Amino acid sequence: MADIFRLTLAQLNPTVGDLAGNADKAFAAWEQARDARAHFLALPEMFITGYQTQDLVQKPAFVADAYRHIEALAKRCQGGPTVGIGGPFYEDGKLFNVYFILKGGQVTGMARKHHLPNSHVFDEKRLYAEGPISGPFAVEAVRMGTPICEDSWHDDVAETMVESGAEVLIVPNGSPYYRGKLDERMSHMVARVVENEVPLVYLNMVGGQDDQVFDGGSFVLNPGGKLAAMLPVFDEAIETVEFEGGADGWIAKPGPLASHPPVLEQEYRLMVEALRDYLRKTGFSKVVLGLSGGVDSAIVAAIASDAIGPQNVRCVMLPSEYTSDHSLEDARGVATALGCRLDTLPISGVRAAVTDTLAPLFDSLATDVTEENIQSRLRGVLLMALSNKFGEMLLTTGNKSEVAVGYATIYGDMAGGYNPIKDLYKTRVFETCHWRNENHRDWMQGPSGVVIPPRVIDKPPSAELRDDQKDEDSLPPYEVLDGILNMLIEGDASVADCVDAGFDRDTVKKVEHLLYISEYKRFQSAPGARLTGRAFWLDRRYPIANRWRDDS
C-alpha cells in the first residue's frame, strides 16, 4: 500500500507586530490541521511578526519577543502535526529570516533565507544576513526542503536541497501583488520542479500591509510542472493536500483548483482589501472623504463602501461658487446609490474670510493658481476637522496620473491618511468605474447595480477651481498623458523612446518636467494601494532636489 503524507497549507493574514494574535492564528490553523490528520502544517514566511516589518525587525527586543512567541507556540502544538512558521532570529550577532520547524513541543530546526531580495519594495540585504543553504528536515517518511520566498527564484537553493535528499519542496512566501506577478511566480516554480523532479508547495500569505497586499494564490505542483492544487486569491484559506509515495517518489493528489478572476477584478479587490486592512490594522472603522461629483472621488467612495460598508462612509460636498449644479447632483447621485451619508459644507464664507485677510498683501497682484489652491486647502482643513472630531480616517482621492504630475494641492486635496487609487492611472479609473457598475461580488459590502452614475464617468474631468476649468487646459488628454507616464515610470523609458513611440516631443518634455518637480509632493503624500511594480513610494525612489533632465 502506498504511503500517504498530508500537508496543510495555511494561507492566512497576519498583522505586523501582533505577535500574540499571529500566534493564535497559527494555533487555530494547527488545530484544523490536526483534525484533518495532517502530518505537517505550513505557515507563510515571517508569519509570527507579520510582513513586511521594515526596520521594526532591527529592534533586538522585538526579535527576542518574536522568538518567545515561537517557543510558546511550539509548546501549544504538542501531540499533533509538525509546524513550519517564519520569523526573525539572531544568531552569532547576525539577524536571519528563518523558517522554524516546531515538533514535540520544541523548536527542532531552522532554515535560513539564503537569497535576500533587494529591489522594488524589498531591501532585505540591509536588514538580514545571508544564511547558508539548509539541508532537508524529516517529517514522518518525507524529507522536506524549504527554499524561503526569494530562494525559489534561483536554481541553486532548491537544487542543493534536493541533492541533499529533499523529496518535497515547501516554499513559504510573503509575496505582494503587482500586475503579472502570478505568472512570474508560476514560471519560476515550474522551472524548479522541472529541474529537480520533485513536488513543490508554494504558500503565500494574504492581506494588506501599508501599501502592499499579499494576494495568496498558493499552489501545489507535481513533477513535470502539472498543477495539483490552487488556492484562491485574497481570501484566507486552510487546505490539506495529500501526497502519495511510491517507487518514483511523492505525488500530490488532486486538490482544490480555485479559479482566479481577471486582472481588473483582482485589482479592484486589491484596493478594497488594502483599505479594509489598513483601517483595521491601524485602529479605524470609519472614513470620510470629499465627494466632488467627479469620477475619482466616486470610485474611492465605492471602494470604501465595499471595504467597510456604506454606513461607515461619510461623504462631504464642499462647494464653492465654481462648483456646477451638475456636480452637486452627481455627488448626491453617488452617495444615494451607495447608501453613504452625504454632508454639505460650502466654503464660500471661509474663502471670503481668507481673501479679506490676505487682501493687504494680495490686492495689487493678479489672481492666479494661489487662489485656486486656497480653495483646495480650505477643503482639506474642513475634512480634517471632521476626521478629528468623529474619528474617521480621511481618504484622499488623487489618481496616479495626477499624483505623477503634481496635479493636486499639497495640504489641500492631498490631505488624508490613505489613498486607495494612488497607483491607478486616470484611464484605468474609468475602466474600473464601468467594471464596478456592471459587477458585484460576495466580498463587497456595498450595494449592487450602478453605483457611479454614467454622467460622472462621461463628463470632462475638472477641478472646478475657476470658471469653465477642464483638466485638459493644463494637461494633455489622459490617454496621451497615461501613455507617456507609463513609459517614463513603469518602463524607465527615455524621452527619445517616447518620441519613437509616437508622442510629441514637447509634450513628453513637459510631462517629464512635471514628473520630476512633483517629487516633493509625493514624498509627503498619503500611502496607497500598490498595483504595479513601479508604485510611488518604495518601488520608485527619486531625489527631491534633482536638476537632471533627459535631452535625448
Residues with catalytic annotation? 45, 113, 149
Q: Which three cell numbers stand for residue 402?
A: 495626477
Question: Is residue 404 within 8 Å of 423, Cβ to Cβ?
Answer: no
- The radius of gyration of the chain from alpha carbons, rounded to an integer in Å, stands at 26
Backbone dihedral angles phi then psi of residue 95, each to the nearest 5 degrees: -100, 130
Q: What is the DSSP string of 66-88?
A: HHHHHHHHHHHTTTS-EEEEEEE
Residues 142 and 144: their CA atoms lie apart, in Å, by 6
**For helices 478-485 and 505-517, angle between their N-to-C axes, nearest 10 degrees:** 70
- The distance in angstroms from the start CA to the end CA of the chain is 70
Locus of grid cell 527619445:
496
Residue 418 DSSP one-character state: B
Q: Which three cell numbers stand for residue 38?
A: 495532517
Residues 533 and 530: their CA atoms lie apart, in Å, by 8
Amino acid letter, 253: K
Question: Is residue 89 within 8 Å of 110, Cβ to Cβ?
Answer: yes
User: SS3 letters for 488-548?
Assistant: HHHCCCCHHHHHHCCCCHHHHHHHHHHHHHCHHHHHCCCCECCCCCCCECCCECCCCCCCC
Q: Which three cell numbers stand for residue 513?
A: 518636467
Give the count of beta carbons closer than 10 Å to the beta carbon of residue 115: 20
Cα angle value 58/63/67 (rounded, 5°): 165
Q: Is 79 left (phi over 0), alpha (psi -120 to 50) or beta?
A: left
> Which are the contacts of 346, defined by CB distance < 8 A and separation ≥ 6?
318, 319, 320
Length of the chain: 552
Locus of grid cell 463587497:
444
Residues 240 and 61: their CA atoms lie apart, in Å, by 35
Nearest Cα to 86, choosing from 1, 150, 181?
150
Query: CB burial class (10 A; 0-12, 13-18, 19+) of residue 198?
Result: buried
Amino acid letter, 80: G
